[in-house]
Amino acid sequence: MINDRVNQQWCVARRPVENVQPEDFELRSDPIPRCGPGQVLLKTLYLNLAPVMRMYMSGQSAAGEKPLAIGDVIHGRGVAEVIESKHSDYQVGDIVQGQIGWQTYKISGMTDQERMRKIPDRGVSFGLSLASLGMTGFSAYFGFIEHGEPKPGDTVVVSGAAGGVGSIVIQLAKIKGCRVIGIAGGPQKCAAISSWCDETIDYQNEVVADRLTELLPNGLDIYFDNVGGETLTACLDNLAFGARVVLCGSISEYMKDEPYGPTNYTKLRRVNGSMRGFFVYNHEPDFDRAEAELAGWVLSGELTPLVDIVDGFESLPQGLAGLYAHKNVGTAYCRVRRDPYDHMP
């Protein structure tokens, strides 16, 4: 239960070893901060759950955020309502998205480091701006459309296809007229994405390399990589001429001391292939354009947000552990307080 009279905060209690444990977190309560000149007071509505958070907790610098010390409030993007403003550009009632941290209130000077942006009211839950209409959607949009350069008829392979980014990429690939092969773990996740995929591969119960060879007699045109590791190697073995490999993430390697890298990258040479990494924030000047186009697809029903909502601020640690235990289907985020458009269970 949320206590509206204090600012509740989840902080790093100790460095995680393998998956995060309850003892890695400390719940603190501080007085609600006061708003100074040029600042706003934010009340948190939704908080994102992302694989990168375990890296922050481990003391690593990632996604442009500074490493966390023991005792620091855990970094996390969120959606919040402005409830007091001494900033000329923001009014009470504005909804913003940005670096809130795992806390129920925040004072913000709207600095560049906080990467705040106002969220337009599109008549759908503001929580979606942590999913299809926010950084997850933008990662899929820029990674797939701008770096993958899809053409109708292309064969597209997506790993982590039942995760937040992957579940959007497979739908964008269908919108762009591509043949889609989604890789996910387990029959339930494969079933959840099957309506957007021509084929699915269950990497927990099938040999990915064998299935790719069987399904790709002419190779793949785009591989959208969310997981790295052996799946990346298997895809590099199946490139069509001019294939594009888009490096979005490598979640299979994040908990390893010595991450595995592909030894067969030279396969790119024979097919004039390319491998491109991207970081979503490098596309910041174009976020409004991506948001408008993604919202158009959501409102027309062409893009279905696949979300996995964890209820309650107190549930954040278990929600983060769930990501690494493969529990989420679609984008995971925490509902701290429900907005009026949120009719999701």
Instruction: Give per-residue burial for 62-95: e unless 16+ CB within 10 Å, then b.
Output: bbebeebeeebbbbbbbbbbbebbebeebeeebb
The residue whose two tokens read 């339930």 is 188
**77 or 87, CB closer to ligand NAP?**
77
Rule CB under 6 A: say whether 280 interacts with ligand NAP.
yes
Please spell the DSSP secondary structure of 160-211, one letter per residue.
STTBHHHHHHHHHHHHTT-EEEEEESSHHHHHHHGGG-SEEEETTTS-HHHH
Rule CB under 6 A: say whether 148 interacts with ligand NAP.
no
Task: Return the range that interacts with ligand NAP (CB under 6 A); candidates 23-31, 69-77, 91-99, 274-282.
Answer: 274-282
87 and 38 Cβ atoms separated by less than 8 Å: yes
Binds ligand NAP (CB under 6 A): choice among 323, 333, 334, 335: 323
SS3 of 251, please?
A: helix
Q: What gap in Å lies between CA 200 and CA 206, rounded to an integer? A: 10
Cross-sheet strand order for the sheet of 155-158: 199-202, 179-184, 155-158, 220-225, 239-247, 274-277
Smallest distance from ligand NAP to CB 297, Å = 18
Sketch the per residue contact string, 150 through 189, with ligand NAP: x for CB under 6 A, - otherwise: ----------x-xxxxx-----------------xx---x
Smallest distance from ligand NAP to CB 154, Å = 21
Binds ligand NAP (CB under 6 A): choice among 172, 227, 303, 309: 227
Rule CB under 6 A: say whether 279 interacts with ligand NAP.
yes
**How many residues form the binding site for ligand NAP (CB under 6 A)?**
29
**184 or 290, CB closer to ligand NAP?**
184
Rule CB under 6 A: say whether 248 interacts with ligand NAP.
yes
Smallest distance from ligand NAP to CB 14, Å = 22
Task: Return the range that interacts with ligand NAP (CB under 6 A); candidates 34-42, 44-52, 171-179, 214-222.
Answer: 44-52
Rule CB under 6 A: say whether 115 interacts with ligand NAP.
no
**119 or 130, CB closer to ligand NAP?**
130
Rule CB under 6 A: say whether 124 interacts with ligand NAP.
no
What are the start-end ranges of the E strands in the chain? Answer: 6-12, 25-31, 40-48, 77-85, 95-99, 105-108, 117-118, 155-158, 179-184, 199-202, 220-225, 239-247, 274-277, 307-311, 331-335
- The H helix count followed by the E strand count for the chain is 9, 15
**99 or 104, CB closer to ligand NAP?**
99
Give contact residues for ligand NAP (rule: CB under 6 A).
50-52, 136, 139, 160, 162-166, 184-185, 189, 226-227, 248-252, 278-280, 323, 326, 328, 331-332
